[in-house]
């Protein structure tokens, strides 16, 4: 039984969008590719049903832009890429994340020595 039900979900929800922005930092990707990358690179396994609404929010916020590209197999794919505003948001998150993470590590006793 989970010590604090929902804690993992809450932590994931708060950081998932910035992980997606980071995955888009150097190249555009389509949705299924993002789901695969999140599963391979992190413990933030998510579904397309979670990811696509998140991508829509990021697009409405102006942090990602989309283009349609032909697929080598099947219908065209919608690719997502980071905008200038998205790059700024990611940079702010990185700066604040380090401060936040270090403070939490000190308080809960997980600080690296």
Q: What is the pLDDT of residue 88?
A: 96
Q: What is the pLDDT of residue 46?
A: 75
Q: What is the pLDDT of residue 58?
A: 95
Read off the pTM: 0.81
Choose which CATH entry (1.10.10.10, 3.40.47.10, 3.40.50.620, 3.30.465.10) describes domain 12-108. Answer: 1.10.10.10
Q: Which of 64, 79, 71 lies closest to 31 in space, CA to CA?
A: 79
Q: How far apart are CA 42 and CA 27, in angstroms?
A: 18
List per-block mean pLDDT (blocks of 10 residues) for the chain, which spans 113 residues: 56 80 95 89 76 93 95 90 96 90 86 67
Q: What is the pLDDT of residue 12?
A: 67
């Amino acid at each position: 039984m989970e010590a604090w039900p929902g804690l993992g979900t809450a932590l994931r929800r708060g950081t998932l969008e910035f992980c997606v922005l980071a995955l888009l930092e150097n190249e555009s990707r389509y949705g299924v590719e993002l789901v695969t990358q999140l599963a391979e690179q992190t413990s933030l396994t998510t579904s397309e049903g979670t990811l696509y609404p998140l991508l829509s929010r990021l697009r409405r916020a102006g942090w990602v832009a989309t283009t349609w590209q032909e697929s080598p197999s099947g219908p065209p794919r919608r690719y997502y890429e980071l905008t200038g505003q998205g790059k700024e948001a990611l940079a702010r998150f990185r700066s604040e994340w380090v401060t936040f993470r270090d403070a939490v590590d000190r308080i809960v006793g997980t600080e690296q020595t």
